[in-house]
Amino acid sequence: MPKKIAPLTNVEVKNAQPKEKPSKLYDGNGLYLLVMPTGAKYWRMKVTIDGKELSPLAFGVYPEVSLADARAKREEARKLIVEGINPQEAKRQSKLNRRVAAENNFEAVARRWHAEKLSEWKESTASATIRRLEMDVFPYIGKLPIKDIKTPAVLAVLRRIQERPAVEIARRLGQVCSQIFRFAILEGHIESDPVYAIRGNLKKSVRGHHAAIGVDELPEFLRKLSSTEYRMYAETRICMRLMMLTFVRTSELIETPWSEINLEKEEWVIPWRRMKMGKRKINPIMEDHHVNLPAQGWALLRELNLLTGRGRFLFPNKRDHERHASNGIILAALKDMGYAGKHTGHGFRSLAMGVIKEKLGYRHDVVDRQLAHQSGDKYGEAYDRARFLAERRVMMQEYANYLDSISSGNILTPKFVRAA
C-alpha cells in the first residue's frame, strides 16, 4: 500500500529552508516543491504514463506561483493523463498554437500582404494603405487570429469608420480587408473571405464632380493667389500657378521628378506609367503625355528650378527631400485662401476647360487632348495626337495670356470664336 502523503501547508512552503543538495517537499498526487541550495523554490510534478516515468512538469517559481496555483495546474495535468495525453506534449502544442496564432493574426497577415504589394504600388499608395490600416483596423481586429475573425467583427470596424462619417474610406478599407483575407486563403489560414457577405450592407458614397470655382470667379481667385495676405511657400504658389497652366492631374504634377523636364529644349514628357490611363490594370494606355506649356509656364519652372532643382522632385517633401510632397499642400493653400469645399486641385482642370471653351472658343476635342482624355478610338489616337499638337500649343499660350490679362485688369478679347 503506497505511503499516504500529508498535503503541504502555506507555512511549510514559505518556511522551507535550502540544504546542501536540492530537496523535495511532496504535496501528493505527484506535486512537489523543489528547494535549491540557493534558496530558489520551484513547483514540479512527477508524471508517469503507461508505467513509464517522464520528465517532471514545471509549474513555475514560488512565490510567483502559489501553492493553490500549483495544485490547480496539477489537476489540469491529471485530467490529461487520465485521457492518455502527455501533458508535456500538450504544453508544447499549446505554445506552438499561440506562436502560430501570433504569427497569423490579422495584422501579421496584413503586413505580409502589404510587403508583397510594394513592388506593384507607388510609394504614396503603399504608405497611405498601411497608415489607414494602422489607424482604423489594427486597433480593433489586428491581434485576433485571422482564422477567428468573422463577418460581424469586420462589419463593426467598417461601420465605425462610416459613422465618422467617412463613407468612402470605409468602402475602400473594405476592399483592402477583402484582399488581405483572400491572401490568407492562399496562405492556407482560412477558407473564405468574411468581407464578401458585407457587400451591399454599407452606405454608398455619393460621387460627384470635383469642386471647382466658376469662370466668373477667376479674377478674384487670381487676385488672392498674387496677394501677400495669404502665407504660403514660394513653391506652393508656383505649384498652384502650374496647375492652372498645365491641366495635369494633381498627382501627376506633385510627383514629377526633374528628370522629366528639359528646360533647355522646353520639353516635358510624362511617362505613360505615371498617367491615370496608364495605371489601369486592364488595357492600360501606353502613351506618354506631352505637356504643352506656354512661355509663362516655362518661366515658372525655371524659377522653381532655382529653389528645388538640386533635388529629385519639383515639389519635395519638406522633411524628406527624397520623397515628393503630399497632394495636401494644394488643399491646405486653397483652405487658407477661403476655398475649402469650393475648389480642389482637380478643379483647376474643370476651370481651365470652362475658360478655354467659354472665353476663347476652342473645340471640346482639342481641350480633351490637353487634359489627357482618351477618345476611345484607338485607331484615331495617333492621327489626333499629330493633328492637335500644334493647335494645343497655340491654345495654351492664348490661355496663359488670357490669365495674365485678367490679373492686369486689361482682359483680352479673342479675335474670333472657333467652330465647335
DSSP state of 230: S
Three-state DSSP class for residue 82: helix
Compute CA distances 281 → 171, 177, 265, 353, whole Å.
20, 20, 33, 28
Q: Which of 111, 160, 276, 393 is catalytic?
A: 276
Give CA 103 to chain center in angstroms: 21
Q: Which of 24, 196, 364, 383 is catalytic?
A: 383
Which cell is 132 given? 489607414
356: Cβ contacts below 8 Å, ≥ 6 apart: 362, 367, 395, 399
In residues, how long is the chain?
420
Given the C-alpha cell 498535503, which residue does it identify? Answer: 7
CB 340 within 8 A of CB 333: no
Q: What's the count of helices (H) and strands (E) in the chain, helices before strands? A: 16, 7
Q: How many CB atoms lie within 10 A of CB 307?
A: 15
Q: Which of 91, 189, 373, 385 is catalytic?
A: 373
Which cell is 70 given? 500549483
CA angle 348, 352, 355 (to 5 degrees): 140
Task: Confirm whether 111 is a catalytic residue.
Answer: no
Task: Confirm whether 302 is a catalytic residue.
Answer: no
Which cell is 145 given? 487570429
Burial of 354: CB neighbours in 10 Å, binned 0-12, 13-18, 19+ = middle
Task: Confirm whether 349 is a catalytic residue.
Answer: yes
Task: Confirm whether 346 is a catalytic residue.
Answer: yes
Closest C-alpha among 194, 198, 145, 193 to residue 170: 198
Query: For the stretch 386-398, what's the b/e string if a residue is b when 16 or more beta carbons lie within 10 angstroms of its beta carbon?
Result: eebeebbeebbbb
The order of strands in the sheet holding 261-262 is 261-262, 267-270, 289-290
Q: Which of 41, 73, 241, 349 is catalytic?
A: 349
The order of strands in the sheet holding 52-62 is 23-28, 31-35, 41-49, 52-62
Task: Confirm whether 52 is a catalytic residue.
Answer: no
Q: Which of 114, 249, 274, 289 is catalytic?
A: 249
Which residues, listed in sequence order, are joined to residue 324 by a DSSP beta bridge? 316
Q: Which of 41, 274, 346, 392 is catalytic?
A: 346
24: Cβ contacts below 8 Å, ≥ 6 apart: 32, 33, 34, 35, 44
Distance, CA of 168 to CA of 177 (rounded, Å): 14
Task: Confirm whether 209 is a catalytic residue.
Answer: no
The residues carrying an active-site annotation are 249, 276, 346, 349, 373, 383
